[in-house]
Amino acid sequence: MEQWTKKHILGIKDLSRDEIETVFNLAASFKEISQREVKKVPALRGKTVLNLFFENSTRTRTSFELAAKRLSGDVVNFSVSTSSLAKEESIIDTIKNLETYHPDIMIIRIESSTSLHTLTKYTQASIVNAGDGRNEHPTQALLDMFTVKEVRGNVENLNVLIVGDIMHSRVARSNIFGFQRFGGKVTVCGPSTLIPYEFQNLGVKISYDFDKAIEDADVVIMLRIQKERQTSCFFPTMREYLDRFALTPERLRRAKKDVIIMHPGPINWDIEISSSLKEQVHPLILKQAENGLAVRMAVLYLVGTQKRELVEVE
């Protein structure tokens, strides 16, 4: 790819295969910086990065903050509980106020699935989606694919199985778009009440039988049961969910020998994955978190160093 042209990173849906590969190549070189004694390069010196989390986060928030700092950006962290949002200031008014500081990048996690495009009208800054409602979590899919590429040496033409709470998952949607860009065949699997009809339109296979679906998978992405987004009871009991959709040693024995097991975190052990598999699967899941830092450095570098044209804001 010659030049990065995307001002915002709102979803994997908007990224070409070339653009995703550009992120991978940069991330691979940024990983080395974290091994140095002085873990810093001047790429974003003089740039202001706002880390705006309207929803809780551990991995995404801390890795974006660290990524911006390792690139020498000036980072301001913002969370709902300590902001005037707690005094009912609207998100648009919040963005308009923060825009007066002339930030270069706004990293935003938000509960609504439709707000980020709207928010681009109120700022000159690049917006990077850190997870928007049930829509997308682009940097999670980028770090997932980057991790698969690191382990297997390639990310092309894979059978990818995504298991669990598909309905509420932005991680599922971003990974579907991402792996499909590289010729992947994606199957989603979970209780029928947690797989909405619209997923049929995304070109994925739907399965309700984890035992069968795991047999062909090269990559299995286990999803978190998102109790905070569930407004009704989608399965009778946790016991039943565990019986049918948890990754257990018995199920894992049905999989290919070199299957890659991932989870975006946070994990509910003994609900999504049996804790007896911890030693076997946790190291790679932690590798995903480690790679999140390098991938987010790459994303911030790409949007933060491109030539900027002033646009009208509302």
193 binds ligand CP, rule: CB under 6 A = no
131 binds ligand CP, rule: CB under 6 A = yes
Smaller CB separation from ligand CP, 109 or 122: 109
138 binds ligand CP, rule: CB under 6 A = no
Distance CA 108, CA 132 (A): 8
Distance CA 309, CA 117 (A): 18
* Nearest-10 crossing angle of helices 138-152, 59-70: 80
Segment near ligand CP (CB under 6 A); pick from 51-59, 82-90, 150-158, 212-220: 51-59
Give me the least distance between CB of 289 and ligand CP, in Å please: 8
- The tokens for 214 are 């795991």
58 binds ligand CP, rule: CB under 6 A = yes
CA distances from residue 75 to 48, 57, 86, 306 in whole angstroms, order as listed: 6, 17, 22, 18
140 binds ligand CP, rule: CB under 6 A = yes
Give me the least distance between CB of 149 and ligand CP, in Å please: 18
State whether residue 161 is helix, strand or coil. strand
Q: Single out the residue of 22, 48, 51, 60 in contact with ligand CP (rule: CB under 6 A).
A: 60
The answer to whether the CB of 119 falls within 8 A of the CB of 130 is no
Give me the least distance between CB of 185 and ligand CP, in Å please: 24
115 binds ligand CP, rule: CB under 6 A = no
Contacts within 8 Å (CB) and 24+ apart, 280-285: 280/252, 281/247, 284/147, 284/151, 284/260, 285/261
Distance CA 37, CA 308 (A): 33
Instruction: Round to the nearest angstrom and report the end-to-end CA distance of the chain.
Output: 33
157 binds ligand CP, rule: CB under 6 A = no
133 binds ligand CP, rule: CB under 6 A = no
Give me the least distance between CB of 15 and ligand CP, in Å please: 18
Give me the least distance between CB of 130 and ligand CP, in Å please: 7
Q: Single out the residue of 6, 7, 57, 152 in contact with ligand CP (rule: CB under 6 A).
A: 57
11 binds ligand CP, rule: CB under 6 A = no
- Complete edge-to-edge strand list for the sheet that includes strand 74-79: 74-79, 48-53, 105-110, 126-132
Smaller CB separation from ligand CP, 58 or 157: 58
164 binds ligand CP, rule: CB under 6 A = no
265 binds ligand CP, rule: CB under 6 A = yes
CA distances from residue 175 to 57, 145, 163, 258, 262 in whole angstroms, order as listed: 19, 8, 12, 20, 12
Residues of the shown chain interacting with ligand CP in the complex, contacts defined by CB under 6 A = 57-60, 131, 137, 140, 264-266
